[in-house]
Amino acid sequence: MILQQKTQQKTAFSPSPKRSVHVMTWGCQMNVYDSARMQDVLQPLGFAPVNTPEEAEIIILNTCHIRDKAAEKVFSELGRLRLIKEARKAHGQQTLIAVAGCVAQAEGEELLTRAPYVDIVLGPQTYHRLPELLTHVARTGKPVIDIDFPTEQKFDFLPHNKTPQTSHSPTAFLTIQEGCDKFCSFCVVPYTRGAECSRPVSAILEEAHRLVEAGARDISLLGQNVNAYHGTGPDGNLWSLAQLAYALADIPDLLRIRYTTSHPRDMHNALIMAHRDLPKLMPFLHLPIQSGSDRILRAMNRGHTANDYLAIVQRLREARPDIALSSDFIVGYPGETEQDFEATLHLVQQVGFALAYSFKYSPRPGTPAAEADGQVPEDVKNTRLQILQKILHDQQNAFNDQFVGRSIPVLLTSRGRKQGQIVGRSPWLQPVHINGSDHLIGQERLVHITARLSHSLLGNLDENKTSLPQ
Ligand code: 5AD
Ligand code: SF4
């Protein structure tokens, strides 16, 4: 059945310390954040996270639909979980399976037709209703689907005050905005995540204060279109991301602020100036361009040209000379010619990226590009992807190489895989490995870089300089 209305019933799940939940997460950082919030929502009911689905009373798959055969991957995972559910049942243990996120949103009822052992299907906008949905299943024994775009804001319902008051990781995510109104012709996000909406400033500042009190030093603000942020401020006016960044920078123990993912159309002057004014705003920006060909950018409905992008990069570099750029690219978009692809390579050479993600175009059902003429053959996409990735990889190595022999501030975040090693993050988001003891975790220290590894840097604490450059 489809649960259309928000029910007001009290949950039938009473708090019990023995309950267990296992969440599996695919996709972007927003899904990682959502998965943590789903655990928060279940925590007051006594559900504690466990590491394997075999141990879990509730298994949640938080899915991603952006590329590839997303639905097929989910169905194959569900096949495995069905066996676990049956094995647990044979031992008298109940298991509920919930599919959340963008595949749930896109597949809806089809999911229950193909996998009738699934108990709950919920979209990215409705996970705050998880307790009610569990109650519903417990009462009726029947599966529920809740993929409406609710009128209430899920942000208002999340128990953010459950953020632990002790020992949070030095890095944290904080969702400030969701959804997208841009409708790039290849993308499912506007359909699965819905219209753009921004959290109020006060809620964000409160959550940031709590995270910092609990130990976070580097906060990444998240949103599908994060720089389109326009939340209501305490003064009643709509605040931009730039205004929010200035307010966050006033939190004394918050050392680093980042935001992702941005759209070139929303890269306004005030935000560029914030990069000039705020040392805490990290000099690393993920700014997807997708293609370097104006013809393809137009077909993609991106609303900007290659030159618009280059102009933004130039202004950013003038404002903050050490800023590094990262991007996303799609090769083999319908109608992409060799000439279009060459234009992408040319743009890559002009910008020089510190990091980039590149994908073969993957038709998403229901999006305009999936129906477009001129679908590019798979072998052509493969060849173009290889060529582009080689250039981007060389650029990444060149970017990382320039740090060898220099001392840079590193926020030490966790133990490394090797004994005695700890890992941190540079301002440019590079992982940095050093030898050192656990007490350094949570501190920002100067590290002398001695080598570049394939995707990270190696270094030693710079004992000569204990204070960081201001
Ligand atoms: N095919 C390939 N890549 C896609 N992306 C989004 N939709 C598609 C698609 N249909 C990529 C874009 C976006 C990133 C998150 O995923 O590059 O920026
Ligand atoms: Fe998708 Fe374009 Fe919106 Fe990004 S801006 S989420 S690519 S529609």
What residue spans define the domains of the chain? 2-148, 149-282, 407-461
Matching CATH number, 149-282, of 1.20.1530.20, 3.40.50.620, 3.30.750.210, 3.90.1150.10: 3.30.750.210
The answer, yes or no, to whether any atom of ligand 1 lies below 6 A from the CB of 361, is yes
The answer, yes or no, to whether any atom of ligand 1 lies below 6 A from the CB of 288, is yes
The answer, yes or no, to whether any atom of ligand 2 lies below 6 A from the CB of 195, is no
Residue with tokens 């998880």: 130
Confidence bin at 305 (pLDDT 50/70/90): very high
- The arithmetic mean of pLDDT across residues 134-153, rounded, is 84
- The arithmetic mean of pLDDT across residues 411-416, rounded, is 94
Whether 75 and 117 have beta carbons less than 8 Å apart is answered as: no
Give the Å distance between the CA of 33 and the centre of ligand 1.
20
H helix intervals, 91-238: 102-107, 109-114, 130-140, 189-192, 201-213
DSSP class of residue 80 equals: H
Give the Å distance between the CA of 353 and the centre of ligand 1.
18
How far is the C-alpha of 442 from the C-alpha of 467, rounded, in Å? 15
The share of the chain scoring above pLDDT 90, in percent, equals 77
* pLDDT recorded at residue 364: 92
Helix (H) / strand (E) containing 232: strand 231-232
How far is the C-alpha of 299 from the C-alpha of 334, rounded, in Å? 9
Give the Å distance between the CA of 75 and the centre of ligand 2.
25
Do domains 2-148 and 149-282 share one topology? The answer is no
Bridge partners (DSSP) listed for residue 58? 21, 96
Confidence bin at 154 (pLDDT 50/70/90): low
Architecture of domain 2-148: 3-Layer(aba) Sandwich (3.40)
How far is the C-alpha of 260 from the C-alpha of 95, rounded, in Å? 36
Starting at the edge strand found earlier in the chain, the sheet holding 355-360 runs: 284-286, 324-331, 355-360
pLDDT in tens, 390-411: 999 999 999 999 999 999 999 9
* pLDDT recorded at residue 166: 46
Confidence bin at 157 (pLDDT 50/70/90): low
Burial of 121 (0-12, 13-18, 19+ CB in 10 A): buried
- The arithmetic mean of pLDDT across residues 278-282, rounded, is 98
Instruction: Please tell me the CATH code under which domain 407-461 is placed.
Output: 2.40.50.140
Confidence bin at 158 (pLDDT 50/70/90): low
Instruction: Give yes or no for residue 159 having a pLDDT over 90.
Output: no
Give the ligand whose atoms come closest to the C-alpha of residue 331: 1
Whether 30 and 38 have beta carbons less than 8 Å apart is answered as: no
Question: Per mean pLDDT, which range of 127-131, 159-163, 427-431, 441-445 is the poorest?
Answer: 159-163
- The arithmetic mean of pLDDT across residues 290-310, rounded, is 98
Q: Tokens representing 356?
A: 């980039």
- The arithmetic mean of pLDDT across residues 264-268, rounded, is 97
Using CA positions, which residue lies closest to atom 14 of ligand 1? 328
Confidence bin at 8 (pLDDT 50/70/90): very low
Q: Tokens representing 148?
A: 């409406």
The answer, yes or no, to whether any atom of ligand 1 lies below 6 A from the CB of 211, is no
Helix (H) / strand (E) containing 174: strand 171-175
Residue 389 one-letter amino acid: Q
- The candidate with the shortest Cα–Cα distance to 374, out of 185, 106, 184, is 185
* pLDDT recorded at residue 440: 94
* pLDDT recorded at residue 7: 30
- Number of Cβ within 10 Å of residue 268's Cβ equals 15
> For the whole model, what pTM was predicted?
0.89
* pLDDT recorded at residue 67: 85
- Torsion over CA of 68, 361, 109 and 95, rounded to 10 degrees? 20
- The arithmetic mean of pLDDT across residues 414-431, rounded, is 94
Question: Per mean pLDDT, which range of 18-22, 67-71, 79-83 is the poorest?
Answer: 67-71
Q: Tokens representing 186?
A: 């290849």
* pLDDT recorded at residue 152: 62
- The arithmetic mean of pLDDT across residues 355-367, rounded, is 95
Confidence bin at 127 (pLDDT 50/70/90): confident
